Amino acid sequence: MITSASTLLPANPLLGAALALLLVVGAAVAALARLGHTRAIVTAGLRATVQLAAVAVVARWAFGSRALLLAFVGVMFAVATWTAGRRITGNGAWWWAAVPIGVAVFPVVVLLVAIGLLPVEGIALIPVTGIFIGGALTATVLAGRRALEELETRHGEVEAALSLGFPEREARLEIARQAAAGALIPALDQTRTVGLVTLPGAFIGMLLGGASPLQAGAVQLFVLVALLAVEAVAIAVVLELVARGRMRRPARGA
């Protein structure tokens, strides 16, 4: 017998109390361990609560209107761009984050719509596009931050390569490539261990919706493989932007 979503996690005061307790525990541990993210944990939890409540209301309207549906996707993309850009650069170059996220996500979505695998309906387009944007966001942030940190740490090696006649792009690529490539490891590990360590959200969601295990597995496999492609493209593009100096951080002491 399929367990309903309401039985698995009933939306009642007990759930609210459990969430509040977990949020307090996370913040307390961060404070005791001096991780430096105590306030961020609390604000992230509160923001998630407000945002999911808002999405639950807005999504109903978006599901019934193609214009609102596309606007909803646009908002997701804009927020991802802002978040990734500010995490990577912290300066006026933040908007370049739109390039790796957009180049990675939208060709895949357009292709899936064109071949008929993804209907232009809110119940399908919003969650699938959201998964891809979220994956591209994570990959872009990790790759961008790691690449820039590596260039700062190994600045002398870049200068040495330039003195040997390397073009600036090539010199920066040689130093930053390996660090940026590490951003793909979480997606690789998730794909390698699916079904053995975790049962991801798409799989569980399909089962709760009444799909067969075979259908749920097929959808989850599709999502994981597509995410690998999306994140690989995002990492490659953000690495190129860093190598060309488009995504950068303020010089020290500036």
| Tens-place pLDDT, residues 19-32 | 889 889 999 998 99
Mean per-residue pLDDT for 51-57? 77
Residue 218: pLDDT over 70? yes
Mean per-residue pLDDT for 183-210? 75
Angstrom distance (rounded) from CA 228 to CA 7:
33
- pLDDT at residue 202, as a whole number: 65
Angstrom distance (rounded) from CA 139 to CA 134:
9
Find how far residue 204's CA is from the centre of its chain. Answer: 20
Stated as kind and residue range, the H or E segment containing 109 is helix 98-114
**Between 12 and 126, the higher pLDDT residue:** 126
- pLDDT at residue 206, as a whole number: 65
pTM of the model: 0.80
- pLDDT at residue 81, as a whole number: 94
Angstrom distance (rounded) from CA 238 to CA 25:
35
Residue 63: pLDDT over 90? no
Mean per-residue pLDDT for 215-221? 77
Joined together, the tokens standing for residue 58 give 């807005």
